[in-house]
Amino acid sequence: MAWITFNRIYAGLIIVAVVSAMIAPKPFSDKARAQIQRIFMPITYPIHTVASVVSRRISPQAVEVERSGGGPRTYQEIADENRDLRVEVANLTAQLRALQEVNAERELVGPLREFCRPLRVTGNDTGMRRALLVQGPVQGMRAGMAALYPGGMVGKLDRVGWSGGAQVQLITDRGFRITASFGRFSENPRHFQELGSLRTLFEGDGRNGLVCGILSMKQVRDAGLKEGDWAVVADSDYPTALQGYRLGLVKAIETSREGLEVARITVRPQEDLLTLREVMVLVK
């Protein structure tokens, strides 16, 4: 009798799992999930921290370095400052354009950090998706808000729980889509030049980049897009303050396998986003 009862209960559990996995909408389960991840923080956080440090040492990311005068500062400090300034200039350029168009929201001009709240990364997705588990003061945060790091955009909040747990879907996740435009710095390092009206939809490649396969090679050639250019946010789903914020650098422009004249553009974030230890969420 007990045997039959267990089988029935277990069959019920399997049906619930199938319905939840295949039919039930995702937000249905998200509220509960964001609370549970806090339980695992005592083990995931130290492991993630150690693994990130080791990972960065084993495969250090290439850092853009500019030759701008000598001084007592270290090479790394200058590189970091350059990176921050470039992100800020690109961001401000696009912001300024948008502000001129709408003639409002002047208060948004300024370093984006003022509008951000930091969250600590405690782990990664346990499946095959690209996501970060984050922990911190999440009051006022909601799903869809953008997460940033000094090198650009990290992704968006996927779910937020009242216990301080949240999950950030990375821009490199296969389910992440965002519209981007392109630009580059001219000889004047303070001048960010946008490349015409070239805008396109990017999708995470599930590895460490974003890909676009809908522009023609002619469009790419006409715009003068080349490797090393910046891909920046140009998506109306995100606030004005985020427009022009860096997604990454154009790593490759190839002819797509599917079509002879279709360009496959790959964009890489400056760092491996899985190794980040802190992200900033744009809350205003």
| Residues within the interface to other proteins (CB under 8 A) | 2-3, 6, 10, 13-14, 16-22, 24, 26, 28-29, 32-33, 36-37, 40, 42-48, 51-52, 54-55, 122-129, 131, 133, 158, 167, 169, 173-175, 206-208, 274-275
113 vs 129, beta carbon nearer other proteins: 129
- In the complex with other proteins, the residue whose CB is nearer, 143 or 223, is 143
In the complex, the smallest distance separating the C-beta of residue 37 from other proteins, rounded to whole angstroms, is 6
Cβ distance to other proteins smaller for residue 29 or 76: 29
Contact in structure between 277 and 121 (CB atoms under 8 Å): yes
Calculate the CA 269 to chain-centre distance. 8
CB-nearer residue toward other proteins: 20 or 255: 20
> Considering the complex, what minimum distance in angstroms separates the CB of residue 216 from other proteins?
25
**CB of 76: closest distance to other proteins in angstroms?**
23
Does the CA dihedral 138-144-149-150 come out positive or negative? negative
Could you tell me the smallest distance in angstroms from the CB atom of residue 263 to other proteins? 21
Nearest Cα residue to 229 out of 194, 190, 278, 271: 194
Compute the residue count for the chain. Answer: 284
* Complete DSSP assignment for 204-226: E-SSS-EEEEEEEHHHHHHHT--
Q: For residues 55-82, b (16+ Cβ closer than 10 Å) or e, as one string?
A: eeeeeeeeeeeeeeeeeeeeeeebebeb
Measured distance CA(262)–CA(188) in Å, rounded: 33
**CB contact at 8 A, 112 and 148:** yes
Q: How far is the CB of 205 from other proteins (least distance, A)?
A: 9
Joined together, the tokens standing for residue 280 give: 């900033």
User: Measured from the CB atom, is 95 or 122 closer to other proteins?
Assistant: 122
CB closer to other proteins, 122 vs 270: 122
Shortest reach from residue 32's CB to other proteins, in Å = 8
**Residue 148, phi then psi, degrees to nearest 5:** -125, 165
